[in-house]
């Protein structure tokens, strides 16, 4: 099968969408299928894989992303030559719109993965939140109706779309799979030596340094841990627009000597950095899936996290980790409990490794192929994803809030 992925973000960026596309691409290739990536250009980046086609783009330094300009005569020329069987869109706008247009032009099935809680970014636009959320929800509904199938990374997002939009057909939950091998083979010793952590207890977290990840709640919790346990360090893996603000907040909390900001790391280094920790901590309530938590489990780390959709589906409280309310004191108590109770850490570590085996990327890729095959049949039959517009109109505000809050 020939599969065309359209995405507004791809390597060298590192985020959940890029991880998902890259992981599925590798697994599909191993299964004998050909995948093509259509993404924004990345200046000064040398491609490491074949069949990546780039649209021109404008850099947006504030957001660490580039904005694609959806015009490319070269791609327009090469696209039909590739003979795709299905188009897989990862965003409902910009290159996602190009994907939908090409699906119509070439009579191809369109599959859309609902990666992101889009309304959680409404704060970026200087209008009322309710107004912006309403526009986003209407746009999503319009886009989904152009598709043959919608994929959600978690059951929670699927339930929201069913309950508030009446989308009950041609919707499937398929979490991003994980290649477990790099996590099983990673050696954490060089990382602990590099940062002088041999005799210390280490918490690790991972994610883009941006507002929606709720970093200040996590750091406030860690500051409470430091007050009781001075021999702890926190490794924060990632970068983003909040880095300078978070550095100032860390200093204000008096924990600068206890926090290690690694900056952006290539994926190849992440398994070893995760395994350098004794536990993984996370405070975001905006996750659609909790991919970074899945990776933490693959590294054998027990998790302390805030209860939220996406996170709840990966970690069961008391089995792979401890889940708390969105409260820094509650998070701190859970962190301290795990740090002080070695038997509990060992039990949750065993649960983490067991759960991680269910994330095998080949299994998820096989499920994705089944969706593609169904989408091809539905396109031939003239079927699209049905949206109940009356139900959506009635519950539009609830859906906007639910997608924003988690």
What is residue 137's predicted lDDT score, i.e. its pLDDT? Answer: 76
Give the separation between CA 384 and CA 141, rounded to whole angstroms: 12
What is residue 389's predicted lDDT score, i.e. its pLDDT? Answer: 72
Q: CATH for 2-177+362-405? A: 3.40.50.2000
What is residue 62's predicted lDDT score, i.e. its pLDDT? Answer: 64
- The 8-class DSSP code of residue 238 comes to B
Cβ-Cβ contacts under 8 Å for 195 (sequence gap 6 or more): 233, 235, 260, 276
Give the separation between CA 270 and CA 192, rounded to whole angstroms: 13
Q: Give the β-pairing of 57-60 and 65-68.
A: antiparallel
Give the separation between CA 288 and CA 118, rounded to whole angstroms: 10
**Domain range summary for the chain, segments of one domain joined by +:** 2-177+362-405, 181-359
In order of 115, 142, 202, 278, 335, the CA distances from 338 in angstroms are 31, 46, 11, 9, 5
Q: Do domains 2-177+362-405 and 181-359 have the same CATH topology?
A: yes
Give the separation between CA 247 and CA 236, rounded to whole angstroms: 11
What is residue 214's predicted lDDT score, i.e. its pLDDT? Answer: 95
One digit per residue, the tens of pLDDT, for the chain of length 406 reads 999 999 999 998 878 899 899 999 999 999 999 999 999 999 888 999 999 999 999 987 766 678 999 999 999 999 999 999 999 999 999 999 999 999 999 999 999 999 876 545 444 555 556 656 667 778 888 999 999 999 998 887 888 788 777 888 999 999 988 999 999 999 999 999 999 999 999 999 999 899 989 999 999 999 999 999 999 999 999 998 999 999 999 999 999 999 999 998 988 999 999 999 999 999 998 887 788 999 999 999 999 999 987 798 899 999 999 999 999 999 999 999 999 999 999 999 999 999 999 888 999 999 999 999 999 999 999 999 998 777 666 655 665 555 555 5
**Main-chain dihedrals φ then ψ at residue 217, nearest 5 degrees:** -65, -45
What is residue 122's predicted lDDT score, i.e. its pLDDT? Answer: 46
Residues 137-170: b if buried by 16+ CB within 10 A, e if exposed: beebbebbebbbbbbbbbebbbebbbebbbbeeb
What is residue 123's predicted lDDT score, i.e. its pLDDT? Answer: 47
**Main-chain dihedrals φ then ψ at residue 243, nearest 5 degrees:** -60, -50
Give the separation between CA 349 and CA 341, rounded to whole angstroms: 12
Q: Spell out the CATH class of 181-359.
A: alpha beta
């Amino acid at each position: 099968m020939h599969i065309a992925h359209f995405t507004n973000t791809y390597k060298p960026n590192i985020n959940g969408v890029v991880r998902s596309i890259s992981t599925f691409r590798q697994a599909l290739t191993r299964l004998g299928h050909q995948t093509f990536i259509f993404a924004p250009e990345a200046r000064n980046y040398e491609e490491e894989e074949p069949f990546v086609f780039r649209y021109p783009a404008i850099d947006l330094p504030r957001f660490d992303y580039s904005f694609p300009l959806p015009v490319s005569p070269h791609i327009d020329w090469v696209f039909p030559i590739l003979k795709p069987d299905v188009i897989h869109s990862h965003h409902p706008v910009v290159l996602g719109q190009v994907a939908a247009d090409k699906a119509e032009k070439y009579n191809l099935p369109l599959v859309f993965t609902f990666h992101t809680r889009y309304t959680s970014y409404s704060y970026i636009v200087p209008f009322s939140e309710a107004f912006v959320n309403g526009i986003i929800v209407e746009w999503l509904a319009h886009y989904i109706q152009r598709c043959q199938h919608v994929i959600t990374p978690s059951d929670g997002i699927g339930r929201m779309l069913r309950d508030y939009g009446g989308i009950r057909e041609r919707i499937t939950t398929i979490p991003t799979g994980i290649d477990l091998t790099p996590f099983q083979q990673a050696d954490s010793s060089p990382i602990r030596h590099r940062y002088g952590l041999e005799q210390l207890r280490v918490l690790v977290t991972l994610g883009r340094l941006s507002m929606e990840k709720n970093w200040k709640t996590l750091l406030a919790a860690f500051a409470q841990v430091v007050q009781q346990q001075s021999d702890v360090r926190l490794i924060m893996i990632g970068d983003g627009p909040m880095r300078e603000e978070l550095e100032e907040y860390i200093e204000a909390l008096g924990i600068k000597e206890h926090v290690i900001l690694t900056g952006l790391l290539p994926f190849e280094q992440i398994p070893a950095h995760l395994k350098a920790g004794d536990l993984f901590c996370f405070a975001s309530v905006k996750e659609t899936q909790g991919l970074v938590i899945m990776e933490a489990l693959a590294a054998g780390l027990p998790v302390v996290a805030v209860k939220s959709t996406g996170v709840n589906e990966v970690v069961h409280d008391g089995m792979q980790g401890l889940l708390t309310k969105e409260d820094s004191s509650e998070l701190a108590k859970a962190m301290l409990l795990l740090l002080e109770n070695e038997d509990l850490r060992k039990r949750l570590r065993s649960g983490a490794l067991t759960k991680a085996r269910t994330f095998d990327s080949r299994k998820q890729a096989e499920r994705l192929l089944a969706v593609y095959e169904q989408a091809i049949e539905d396109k031939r039959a003239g079927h699209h994803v049905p949206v109940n517009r009356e139900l959506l109109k009635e519950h539009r505000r609830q859906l906007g809030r639910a997608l924003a809050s988690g």
